[in-house]
Amino acid sequence: LNSPSNPSGRIISPTEFERIAQIALENNFWLLSDECYYQFVYPPYIPFSAASLPKELRANILICGSLSKTYAMTGWRLGYALGAKEWISEMVKVQSHSTSNPSSIAQRAAIAALSSPQDSVKEMLTEYNKRRDYLIPALNSIFGIECVEPEGAFYAFPNIKKILQSNSTIKTSEQLAEYLLDQAHIALTAGSAFGSEGYLRISYATSLDTLKRGIERINACVEKLIK
């Protein structure tokens, strides 16, 4: 379970998560809670971690997290896992013989990030919120695009099926992503990469000015495509 979700930005509510955890416990299967975007949840929603569930519901849950998103440490390759002691012990056996360990520099940086004031995280969330407030209405103003407002993370996942149906050459999300890359120099990810044909993933982990230029180029390309 990935909440907030990549690519959609949607979240699983605490109530929904608790129900799923109960089903996992009753049917004896494991849940992997991917919490890489845990801190990036927009009001009125609040961050939720599976670690806050009642102890009896956590028996079948493994939590994975990362410093890449929250602290902009992409490339440092540093993450963590929380779970039952016997699970973690077995994971360490595999991990220690496959990837060894993060560099000491990365570990020191992680300690600094986790133990320092978290004001920068709040500032990042505020900035992402501003970008989201611009991007979603802007996308919905383009012919053939429908986009639900993300509740967390920093991705928009617009539905572009009408565009695919309204032209004679571009028929898949991958083809449209390639078209926008070639014609507008915009790098997006095809929804098919996530098992969701008819969608595109757009990251707004960039400046507002860049997003505005991107919207102008997307709009121009779509108008040209469907003429």
Residue 160 lies in a domain: yes
Are the CB atoms for 139 and 156 separated by under 8 Å?
A: yes
Show which of 80, 97, 115 is a domain's final residue.
Answer: 115
Any domain includes 53: yes
C-beta atoms surrounding 158 within 10 Å: 24
Residues 79 and 106 sit within 8 Å (Cβ to Cβ): no
- The span from the CA of 57 to the CA of 213, in Å, is 47
Instruction: Report DSSP letters for 66-135, one per residue.
Output: ESTTTT--TTS--EEEE--HHHHHHHHHHHHTTT----HHHHHHHHHHHHS--HHHHHHHHHHHHHHHHH
Q: What is the pLDDT of residue 67?
A: 94
- Given 87, 115, 143, the domain boundary residue is 115
- Same domain flag for 77 and 157: no
Note whether 141 and 182 are same-domain residues. yes
Orientation angle between helical segments 208-226 and 173-184, nearest 10 degrees? 110
User: Is 8 within the bounds of a domain?
Assistant: no
Shared-domain flag, residues 137 and 199: yes
Same domain, 104 and 134: no
- Do 214 and 146 reside in the same domain of the chain? yes
Domain count, the chain: 2
Kindly report the CATH number assigned to the domain that includes residue 61: 3.40.640.10
What is residue 124's predicted lDDT score, i.e. its pLDDT? Answer: 96
Claim to verify: residue 136 and residue 99 sit in the same structural domain: no
The answer to whether position 5 is within a domain reads no
| Residue 89 belongs to domain spanning | 14-115
**Final residue of a domain: which of 115, 134, 153?**
115
Cα separation, 91 vs 30, in Å, equals 15
pLDDT in tens, the chain (227 residues): 999 999 999 999 999 999 999 999 999 999 999 999 999 999 999 999 999 999 999 989 999 999 999 999 998 989 999 999 999 999 999 988 888 788 899 999 999 999 999 999 999 999 999 999 999 999 999 999 999 999 999 999 999 999 999 999 999 999 999 999 999 999 999 999 999 999 999 999 999 999 999 999 999 999 999 98
